Amino acid sequence: MQNIEEISGEDELIRLLLKRQSELNSLLEVTRAINKNISTPVLIQMLEVIMQNYLQVGRLRFLIEHEGTFVCISSYGGDEESAKSLYQACRKLSKARSLTSLANHEDNLLKRYDYFIPFHQKSKAIAYALIGDFNTTEEMLSNDLNFIQTLINVIVVALENKRLFRERMESERFKREMELAQEVQNMLIPMRLHKETAVEIGAKYFPHQNIGGDYFDFIRINAHEFLWCVADVSGKGISAALLMANFQASLRAWSAVEEDLTNIVERLNQIVLKNTKGERFITLFVAKYNEKTRKLNYINAGHNPSILYHDGEAVPLKLGTTMIGAFDELPFLNQGEVDVDPGSMIFNYTDGLMDYDIPVTKSWNEDKLLEFVINNGDLSPDKFNQTLLDHLNLIIKGKPIDDITLLTLRIF
């Protein structure tokens, strides 16, 4: 006949085996849910059910790292604490790298709990768990604690993988958006510029990143008139590129039917405002030249002033208005008109030419640019643009912080 101790030992072994089987079943269910990409709230709900009903954990606080801070994603049992106070309490145990008993801890919040469990990725803490009111036997304590760590660690790894997947998807989406924006912008930038008896044009465009916000265009209106524009849209990405595509289409459409630049700019302001609800704006310089009258009409809408050069003199073209797309009605609008002598050069650019990642106000500013134009204004447009870039490489060691567009015209 078996004695009482042998029967008791067998019963304890059976209970242990059954418990291990239940643990494996619980982990299997959680793993299946993770593989099905179940939502985070449902995953946390599964964790709480296992902790409460199977492991007899009466109080749980589960915090994970999110954008530089910690948020509490599971909390049941006892009085509710703020995520901030929980995080501050856990930070007092920042040196702990494994499960830590909180028996008789001096911190008023931590002593409400039985154990603290940190989770690290390399040396960085990514999650904390506090468990309390833990109802287990002395014999099963070690087994239950090991299982709790394993279970929560599986959840932590799943949540971290979800985060990495979201980041990767966001990165891919952003990459594709930039590719689309670049494709749109490449369609906007003229592949060829006119070189004929009346005008010679040279252009250079350097986006700060793969996709920029600059735009330039040259439009032959009729046999004796042409129009050009240099513009800079606020922001980057596909939305900025689409806005510029719409702007180009509107400019080309209105310049074909409207003779007055003032009316064209007012129309463009309304179009941009309607499309962006005032959330984006465009600065631009637009000009129209008549070869018969030799009259140049222009409007500078909050843009860097283009420079008219002839015979050793350089004049900035500043008349115009504020940026378009910012106001329902432009607060003022002045159209400039100048006579253009044969051989004159007009230099247009965007603000990237003047803005660098180091202070350059002494070595490079608008006065220095005027001086450079005076000294080099007799060069051909292409040669002038390249000489300017070579000059900047010599005097400035920093890099531009925005796109650079150079559009230079020689009018004969």
Q: What is the pLDDT of residue 115?
A: 95
Query: Hey, how many other C-beta atoms are within 10 angstroms of the C-beta on 332?
Result: 8
Give which of 300, 326, 174 is closest to 236, Cα–Cα: 174
- Bridge partners of 134, per DSSP, are 57
Give which of 168, 144, 131, 163 is closest to 64, Cα–Cα: 163
More confident residue, 302 or 19: 302
Query: Hey, how many other C-beta atoms are within 10 angstroms of the C-beta on 283?
Result: 23
Whole-angstrom Cα Rg for the chain? 35
- Bridge partners of 68, per DSSP, are none
Q: What class, spelled out in words, does domain 4-166 have in CATH? A: alpha beta
Encoding tokens for residue 290?
């008549």
Determine which helix (DSSP H) or strand (DSSP E) holds 260, and give its type and residue range.
none
Strands 124-134 and 313-317: unpaired
Query: Hey, how many other C-beta atoms are within 10 angstroms of the C-beta on 409?
Result: 25
Give which of 93, 75, 87, 99 is closest to 147, Cα–Cα: 99
Least confident of 170-179, 255-264, 359-368: 170-179
- Bridge partners of 295, per DSSP, are 290, 339
4-8, 101-105, 216-220, 306-310: which is most confident: 306-310
Give which of 317, 306, 299, 218 is closest to 263, Cα–Cα: 299
Q: What is the pLDDT of residues 7-25, one digit of tens each?
A: 455 666 666 666 667 777 7
Those residues with Cβ within 8 angstroms of residue 143's Cβ, 6 or more apart along the chain or in another chain: 16, 19, 20
Strands 320-321 and 295-301: parallel
Task: Compute the average pLDDT of residues 282-290.
Answer: 96
Q: What is the pLDDT of residue 215?
A: 84
For residue 365, give the amino acid letter. Answer: N
DSSP string, 315-331: EEE--EES-BTS-SS-S
**DSSP for residue 351:** G
Could you tell me the pLDDT band of residue 197, with boundaries at 50, 70 and 90? Answer: confident
Encoding tokens for residue 158?
């799943």
What ranges do the domains of the chain cover? 4-166, 179-411
CB 409 within 8 A of CB 200: yes
Encoding tokens for residue 276?
């962006």
Classified by CATH at the fold level, domain 179-411 comes out as: Phosphatase 2c; domain 1 (3.60.40)
pTM for the full predicted model: 0.61
SS3 406: strand
Those residues with Cβ within 8 angstroms of residue 170's Cβ, 6 or more apart along the chain or in another chain: none
106-110, 203-207, 241-245: which is most confident: 106-110
